A and B are shown apart, each in its own frame.
Chain A
Amino acid sequence: METMIALQRDVATARQAARQRNVFFQLSHEMLAIIGEDGYIKRVNPTFEKATGFTEQELLSRPFTEFIHPDDLEATNTEFEWLREGLATEDFENRWRCKDGDYRWLSWATYPVTEEGLLYAAAHDVTAYKRVEEELRRSNEELEHFAYIASHDLQEPLRMVASYVQLLARRYQGRLDSDADDFIHYAVDGTQRMQKLIEDFLTYSRTGKRGNGFAPVDCGAALEQALGNLEYARQHEHASITSDTLPVVSADYFQIVQLFQNILGNSLKFHGEQPPCIHISVQKEPFEYIFCVRDNGIGISPAYFERIFILFQRLHTRAEYPGTGIGLALCKKIIECHQGRIWIKSIPGEGTALYFSLPIPRPVSHQAQENTENPERATHL
């Protein structure tokens, strides 16, 4: 008798749980589907019907692959194979054909239950997001192209001015009065500065997310290369540069070399009475590495901690220290491309500590890995 009651109670509990799941399945604003390992959809919720314009019957009547955009078919089939082997996936994106013939971008999270031969899937419509992403990409491309053309076209007439003023200097310096010599000197100096500014501006505008995508980068190796490039300056300043063992991150190798080179270049340049003494350390946090480059140089006043990262902003006259003021702006751009942060701590007269963070590489989904190697495929619309 007791077992009967217990059994009835179990059945009632199970029925209630099933009813709850069913209600949420019907209610959910997410597109939910149950797909068989045979490639046919077994069940969809009303949101799925509404989003695609197809009735459940239409969606169940053919293999789901017939709804997938031809360009996404291969990746979808590969992902399907992973799922059939029992591996859950997240953030898988593909295009689903709707009743009106249009495609919408869907982002899937799928959980396989191999004993049942079923895949439980939830998708949401990311079409709008994809469009914005594409527009942003185009807009950035256009901006970079514009900056390149502007700089390039500016260089031609500038070369004319620079060359002829220098020709004047060669031909007539010493043969006119000393005022003329001064005038020529300032003119030549101006053109040389302008040329350097345009060059640096071009470098800055070209730095950004490049087609190569990210790969594992040994920061120690990148540092070595930067040190090699700075060897002459290091010897000239009798500087000592030391570092902790540096980690491997997901990055663009040449940009990381450039990053180290700019930061160390600054430490070598802005030194005080003593020869520069620089140390690079790193600290591992839950999701990121925090690097610190500490020097014993002239330091920076807190009032300027933000300003120094702005392109072409300088804190000293050219007579005191050379340079156009691009170094830290470039570092900031590189760091932002890598989803990191950069900041400074310093006491004037006592040295500077420059901090930057780089995310710890996370294991990526099969498709996200592909997208890193083929970015055009990832954003095509």
Chain B
Amino acid sequence: MNTANGHPKIVHGGVIGAPIDILLVEDSPGDVRLTIEALRDSKIRNRLMVAQDGCEAMAMLQQEAGYEDLPRPGLILLDLNLPKKSGREVLAEIKTYEHLRRIPVVVLTTSKAEKDIIASYDLHANCYITKPVDLDQFIHIIHSIEEFWLAVVQLPQS
């Protein structure tokens, strides 16, 4: 199963440890590829799945028709500006499901607006990160996110 621009739905990166599944919810193909490139150089082994809008994200998380074989991710990277269903709506929905709300959600977006930050934390996002404009900083942030949420932090076994 490929994304609209021909990338495979699951992309592998990293070298160490049992691979962690990451769901990236992002509609800009340019940003998707940047994230893939950043994760490719990461130390921690990872499998990246991509949803290009809010509806697809929920379908993948719920393992609906067409997505039954997808693993449940151990980490969600969520953009706020999405077509169909917005990042805010996805966030709110995820937190209503018992089997989904334990997955850490990192809001990763271009907006630095205070109202977006407040809304995200109110909806129980685990953290909020503004995408930096500089590439080196972006790569550094992706690696930091990974290291923190996948190596430093304790996640539930299930």
Contact = CB atoms under 8 A, between A and B. Distances in A.
Interface in A294-315: none
Contacts of B37: 167
Contacts, number: 26
Interface in A193-247: 195
Which of B37, B110, B133, B138 has the most chain A CB within a 10 Å cutoff?
A: B133
Interface string A142-184: 0000000000000110011011101100100000000000000
Nearest to B29: A160
A156 B110 contact: yes
Contacts of B28: 160
A155 B135 contact: no
A266 to B, nearest CB: 25
26 contacts: A155-B110, A155-B133, A156-B110, A159-B110, A159-B131, A159-B133, A160-B28, A160-B30, A160-B31, A162-B133, A162-B134, A162-B135, A163-B30, A163-B34, A163-B135, A163-B138, A164-B30, A164-B34, A166-B134, A166-B135, A166-B136, A167-B34, A167-B37, A167-B135, A170-B135, A195-B133
A156 B138 CA distance: 14
A241 B138 CA distance: 38
A167 B131 CA distance: 16
Interface in B37-67: 37
A190 to B, nearest CB: 14
Interface string B1-44: 00000000000000000000000000010110010010000000
Interface of B: 28, 30-31, 34, 37, 110, 131, 133-136, 138
Nearest to A166: B135
Contacts of B136: 166
A188 to B, nearest CB: 9
A167 B33 CA distance: 11
A163 B131 CA distance: 12
Contacts of B110: 155-156, 159
Contacts of A195: 133
A162 B135 CA distance: 8
**A-B pairs with lowest CB-CB distance, top 3:** A166-B135, A160-B30, A163-B135
